[in-house]
Structure 1
Amino acid sequence: MQDMLKTALIQTSLFWEDREANRNMLRQKIKQLDPDTDLVILPEMFTSGFTMTPEAVSEEMNGETLRWIKETAREFDIAITGSVVITEQDRFYNRLLFVHPEGTVEQYDKKHAFSLAGEDEVYDTGNDRLIVVYKGWKICPLICYDLRFPVWSRNTEDYDMLLYVANWPLPRISSWDILLQARAVENLCYCIGVNRVGEDHNGHQYPGHSAVYGVLGEQLAFSEKEETVYVTLDKQKITHYRKKLRFLDDRDDFELL
């Protein structure tokens, strides 16, 4: 258990539907990380880009990408998270993988499929939220479109960090900025969003805007270019403001049906 957690947000362009090229590129970026990094966060569908042809890039859970993540996490003694396209029983999932340094794997299937792009027509969705415990931090990892749904993100487990991986395009980037900050404020937690940059095969532009917000909504990091952004989070700040403000004591009780 540790009070300080050093995170690395890898904001990068992606090779379209080329798993090997993306893994090789990301390995080079991870290899260059500061050695005291605790957690590496990759974008949504980091081996392919946001594709609606999952059959072209999908892998089973015992596939090459998960093996690559586990080997990389173990080699550099870091946790790695991001989402990839997974197939199970002839179904496709936009699945976030959280891999601990020793190789333990936790998973979350995107709850809210992005119907505007037809994601709901080709990907199955999950119904269970994931709370990861890593080095004493409780982390709630979610995926892109989930950001628009505050009830799904609501802090009912007293987590310390909300984490969103995304392929969020330029036309709606102001919504990304606003909602990341709002999720931090309403949940009295750190909120991290990792987006990609560049242009995909369909001509969609991605402007980055990967960012980290503190418990009061203060912006701790922000980027619009291809780079790795480092932020060290301090759990004592969460404890301080939750004791001082006690907003979460007044949250509404509810059940998701």
Structure 2
Amino acid sequence: MDNLKIAGLNFDILWKDKNKNLIFIEEKVKNISVDLILLPEMFPTGFCMEATEIADRNEETLHWMKGLASSKKSAVCGSASVFDNGSFVNRFYFVKPDGSYQFYDKRHLFTYSGEDHSYSKGKERVIVEYKGWRILLQVCYDLRFPVFSRNNEDYDAVIYVANWPETRIDAWTTLLKARAIENQSYVFGLNRIGTDGNNLNYPESSYCFFADGSIISETENHFVSAEFNSDELKKYRGRFQFLDDRDSFEIF
């Protein structure tokens, strides 16, 4: 398992403007070289409940991500509004450089904003394998539900993509750290910044935590960067074997 270099782009998503958002991303990532490019929740449009207006109907975002992954020789992941099989979903794509991909449909829909009225919840917990790393995919509100992200020694890292506003930002930071500690895993939480179409503000608040709860990420020019170190993770888990004492849960 090689070390994994990740760059998350926490930008001010233009409301419901796919074309300009994708152009902006292409320009920003032009000169970076990493193993994984991470984009926020609903990065093409912002966290918008007008699914009939904004949702992909012909896998437009997926095709764009495949092109970016191929040109950058890097995996690309982030979520988008998608119409699939008769319903709308908040779909988190993980696209590899060779064009293969997996996706996770957001399980916990944010009822406070009416997401449950616009989108259908996912039915599967998804772990992807990339360069020897097992990565659990999660989206925003999933962060509040620890049983769903419980590490059954089946993953090494968790990625959360989000549109988590300033009014509840302490919960975001605290829970990211908690998930890293309780699951003895890397946790990368990528939030957007700026102001959305609902006039909600999003401060700089993206981080990567190591398994002991320490912050290992650095932020510069919109990018939050971190490196997953396999030797350090194995050493930490070997020294503190807390997962052996975990409870078991039935998720579905």
The verdict on a shared fold, with TM-score over 0.5 as the criterion, is yes
What is the alpha-carbon distance in structure 2 between the residues aligned to residue 46 and residue 152 of structure 1? Answer: 24
Name 1:47's counterpart in structure 2. 44
Contact 2:153–2:243, Cα closer than 8 Å, also in 1: no
Contact 1:50-1:167 within 8 A present in 2 as well: yes
Query: How far apart are residue 226 of structure 1 and its match?
Result: 5.8
1:237 aligns with 2:241: no
C-alpha separation in 1, matches of 2:202 and 2:155: 29
The runs of at least 4 aligned residues of structure 1 exceeding 4 Å deviation read none
CA displacement at 1:90 relative to structure 2: 2.9
Instruction: Say which of 95, 101, 106 aligns to 1:105.
Output: 101
| C-alpha distance in 1 between matches for 2:27 and 2:235 | 38
**Stretch moving more, 113-122 or 150-159:** 150-159
Residues 54-79 of structure 1: CA deviation (Å, up to 9, x unaligned)? 1111113x432211100110011000
Query: TM-score when scaled to structure 1?
Result: 0.95
Give the partner amino acid of 2:249. Answer: F
Query: Once the 2 structures are TM-superposed, how far is the Cα of residue 89 of structure 1 from its aligned partner?
Result: 3.0
Provide the aligned length of Structure 1 versus Structure 2: 252
Aligned counterparts of 2:169 and 2:248: Cα–Cα separation in 1 = 31
- The answer on whether the counterparts of 1:197 and 1:226 sit within 8 Å (CA) in structure 2 is no
Describe the SS at the equivalent of 2:176: helix
Cα distance in structure 2, aligned partners of 1:82 and 1:181: 21
CA deviation after TM superposition for structure 1 residue 158, in Å: 2.9
* Residue 114 of structure 1, CA deviation: 0.2
**Structure 2: any 5+ residue segments left out of the alignment?**
none
1:67 corresponds in structure 2 to 63
Q: What's the CA shift string for 1:169-219, capped at 9, x where partnerless?
A: 000000001000000000000000000000011100011310000010001
* Whole-angstrom distance in 2 between the partners of 1:111 and 1:68: 24
CA contact (8 A) 1:11 1:226 kept: no
Query: Match of 2:148, SS?
Result: helix
Aligned partner of 2:26: which letter? R
Q: Distance in 1 between matches of 2:221 and 2:198?
A: 20
Distance 1:142 1:114 in 2: 13
CA distance, structure 2, for counterparts of residue 103 and residue 55 of structure 1: 27
Give yes or no for contact 1:93–1:125 (8 Å, CA) kept in 2.
yes
Whether the 8 Å CA contact 1:7–1:40 is kept in 2: the answer is: yes
Distance 2:166 2:68 in 1: 31
Q: Hey, what's the Cα distance between the residues in 2 that align with 1:50 and 1:204?
A: 11
Deviations 1:132-177 (A, max 9, x none): 0000000001000000000001001431101100000000000001
Distance 1:184 1:158 in 2: 14
Q: Contact 1:138–1:159 at 8 Å: present in 2 too?
A: yes
Q: Is the partner of 1:93 in helix, strand or coil? A: strand
